[in-house]
Structure formats: structure tokens, C-alpha cells
Amino acid sequence: MYKIQTLNNISVAGLNRLPRESYEIASELGHPDAILVRSAKMHEMPIPDTVKAIGRAGAGVNNIPVADMSTRGIAVFNAPGANANAVKELVLAGMLIAARNIAQAAKFARGVEGDDAAINKAVEAGKKQFVGMELPGRTLGVIGLGAIGVLVANAARSLGMKVIGFDPSITVRAAWKLQSDVEAALSVDDLVSRSDFITFHVPLTDHTRHMINAERIANMPDGAVLLNFSRSGIIDDDAAVTALDACKLYAYVCDFPSNLLKDHPRVVTLPHLGASTREAEDNCAIMVADQVRAYLEDGNITNS
């Protein structure tokens, strides 16, 4: 019998895929055969020699030292696509939050005081500052056309947006899933120069770090909106703040906490909520539990 330790936040649906006596929920590592983890930073933990596999209940593996694990012969599994719908829905919400100034308007409405007559008067006077824009006819640029990017692109088409996408390594499978009227941009620069909203669905790597910098922001249409539901670092946030202050950018919605961004009036920061639905948590946990179990029991590698 093998032993699997789960470090944090692995849904019960995933644990139910494992033999009951095989797993242990722990806050510190013992000497398991495998580890299931969501967001714990594995770089900061000595991984015991007993470990043969790590399952990350999410798409990104940046909390796992993958290269070190490969050198040690430890297999790393993730759950590509398992939370894609949840992220897509939050990206759509993010676009609407930006387009209709929802976060700022809600903050304003909450701060109005007095009796109902006074509140109505203040609200009538104040709401003019939150006049927004509608999405049909506007262009959404999608950088990264994996499981999430494809869902976002297709959903934006159904909202009447024009959609252009860029992915240097698009697979035939992803291309098939894209609606035929999603246009392929020639390059990041081409996409950036034509998009009113830009959303990123690429991992943070040396190649994607600061993919959006001051120079690229300068080439965006005036009043563009940035949506980062991937990882902090893909956008040069100092450059974004400068562009927001100069009204070059209209808004920036990001799904990660940031000291620099959190108090900016044109920024909405969320606490990395993209994958936080009951359905996505179950899907991810089930996918990695199945993969790790298949690997430990039969040596099968089923990561797709």
C-alpha cells in the first residue's frame, strides 16, 4: 500500500478516488509516496526521498520546482483544463466589472449615508462618474489559446465582441475548438495594437515575464483594458500604473493580490479566485488523484 499526503485544499471528491487507507491530510510533510497539493509553495519544502509523484490540483505548476523534481525522477502531474470553465467565467465577470465600473460603483454606493431620500439624491448625483461601455463591437485580444483561452474567446464571441487570438504554439486540437470567426493575430504586437480588452492565458516563464511593457502599452488603443487572470509578472505593473494615471489605459483587472495595485482607483484586484468554484476544485482534485493513483499503482502516466 502506498501513502499519499495532501497538503492543503484538496477537495474531498479527489480524496474519494483514492483507497481510504492510502491518504493522510497533513500540514507538514512526512515520508509519503506522493503529495497532492494546491497552492503550497513546494520550493520552500524539502521533498523527502520517498516521494515518487506530486500532483498539483490546478493548471499552473509554478509552485513546484519541476526541474529539480525531474532531475530526481519525481513525476509531476497537473490538471490542465479542469478549472477552465471557472476561470473563463471570472474573466467574463472581469470584463464586465471593468466595462461598467462595477467595483468602484459598489464602493461608492456602500459609502453613501443618510436616510433613503438623502441616499437617492447622492446616488443620482454621483452615478454619472460610472457611465460605462458595452461590449458588442469591441475587440478582445486573447493571448494563449489553451483550454482557458479557447473558452474565453468563444464566450466573448457570443457576447458580440470581435475576438483575435495569439498563441505561438497553438495545437490542432485547440484550433478545432475555436469558433471559426476568432481571428488569428500575426504576433503579440499585432494583437496588442488592435485590442480594446486583452486577456492573458499563458504561464509565467522567462519568455512571458513583462510581455506587456511600457512600449507595448503605448501601442494599445487609447482606453484599453488589461485582464490578468494568469500570473503576476506577465504585465509590467509599474508600466500599467503609469498608463492608468495618464488615462492611456482605462482599467486593469487582475486575479492576484498586489501592494502596488490594490489601492489604485482604476484597478480591481481579486484574491486569485479564478479556479475557486466547487466544481473546479472537485475537477482538479479528481484529475490529479486519478493520475497519481495510476502512476503509483501501475506506472501509467495519464497527464494529457
CB of 106 to ligand MLT, least distance (A): 24
Distances 40 to 113, 237, 272 between C-alpha atoms, Å: 42, 24, 14
Grid look-up 481579486 returns: 270
CA-wise closest residue to 33 among 289, 296, 303: 296
CB of 39 to ligand MLT, least distance (A): 5
**Which C-beta is closer to ligand MLT: that of 157 or that of 272?**
272
Q: Is 193 in the site for ligand MLT (CB under 6 A)?
A: no
CA-wise closest residue to 162 among 145, 185, 144: 185
CA 115 to chain centre: 41
Phi first, then psi: what are they for 176, rounded to 5°?
-65, -35
Question: Which range, of 22-30, 56-64, 174-182, 257-265, touches ligand MLT by CB under 6 A?
Answer: 56-64
**Which C-beta is closer to ligand MLT: that of 83 or that of 101?**
83
18, 42, 53, 59: which one binds ligand MLT (CB under 6 A): 59
Q: Is 60 in the site for ligand MLT (CB under 6 A)?
A: yes
Distances 253 to 99, 203, 272 between C-alpha atoms, Å: 11, 17, 11
Q: Is 88 in the site for ligand MLT (CB under 6 A)?
A: no
55, 58, 65, 141: which one binds ligand MLT (CB under 6 A): 58
5, 6, 11, 83: which one binds ligand MLT (CB under 6 A): 83
**Which C-beta is closer to ligand MLT: that of 8 or that of 179?**
8
CA-wise closest residue to 302 among 8, 2, 15, 80: 80
Give, as ranges, the residues between 249 and 278 that touch ligand MLT (CB under 6 A).
272, 275
**Which C-beta is closer to ligand MLT: that of 142 or that of 161?**
142
Q: Is 303 in the site for ligand MLT (CB under 6 A)?
A: no
Query: What is the C-alpha to C-alpha distance for residues 111 and 119, in angstroms, rounded to an integer?
Result: 10
Query: What is the C-alpha to C-alpha distance for residues 288 and 242, in angstroms, rounded to an integer?
Result: 41
Distances 149 to 17, 84, 222, 272, 301 between C-alpha atoms, Å: 29, 8, 24, 17, 25
**Which C-beta is closer to ligand MLT: that of 64 or that of 95?**
64
CB of 58 to ligand MLT, least distance (A): 3
Binding site for ligand MLT (CB under 6 A): 38-39, 58-60, 83, 272, 275
